[in-house]
Amino acid sequence: MLTPEELNAALGTSEMKAVSDSTTLMTRNTSRPECGSVVDTGIKSAYEGSGYRALQYQFNQDDGEHAYNPREHVFGVPQVRLSQMVTAFPDSARADKFAADEAGKWRQCIGSGVVTLSQEGQDNADFRISEVKLKPQYTVQGVLTVDMRRAGDPNVPDMLWTCFHSLGAKRNIVADVMICDSYLAHNESAKVLERILSKVPAK
């Protein structure tokens, strides 16, 4: 995974910090299991039964001041939120299969209505999924990146959050990255993913 310093370099942020780490899958659920992990990294139902051996998850956020977002202090929320996860599979064939299966699940949920993310003790989050057009900066190893926008009243602060989510594989490692912010300034989830995968030895 990338360090906070490496994330700052990739995203142009200044105060990225690691907030939490985990070696277990998230307990969040989705209203559309057939969509896999499209609305979050490390959704348990998406990874269970995949044959993975181990994982490392980290949640990061940047609270720095940025000129393009004058609403930051009004809303009182972190400027950028980023989750990154790497998962080890027994071999490259299983990692590639998982990434391909997830890509298929993500694609079938593009433009198909609301997908709800839920976790006990927290408010539900409704997202609408769309596809980021196939451009080199958004597409890594043939796995598309999706654009997720909160569904609801645009005048509610939380609804301004937009997320970009990418997933890809190299050798026996699957990397999963999601970046959210309140303006469309940090859509480089594929860039972060590519830099994570570049750390995986070629052989």
Chunked into runs of 10 residues, the chain (203 residues) has average pLDDT values of 94 90 89 87 90 97 61 53 96 94 86 79 78 53 68 58 86 93 68 93 85
pLDDT the model gives residue 140: 46
Residue 203 lies in a domain: no
pLDDT the model gives residue 182: 67
Residue span of the structural domain in which 76 resides? 4-197
pLDDT the model gives residue 67: 41
Residue 187 lies in a domain: yes
pLDDT the model gives residue 153: 57
Residue 81 lies in a domain: yes
The domain that holds 92 is classified in CATH as: 3.40.1000.70
Residue 132 lies in a domain: yes
The number of C-alpha atoms within 13 Å of 22 and in the hemisphere containing its C-beta is: 15
Residue 202 lies in a domain: no
Residue 9 lies in a domain: yes
Residue 34 lies in a domain: yes
Residues forming a β-bridge with 129: 148
pLDDT the model gives residue 24: 94
**Residue showing tokens 């999706």:** 146
Domain count, the chain: 1
Residue 71 lies in a domain: yes
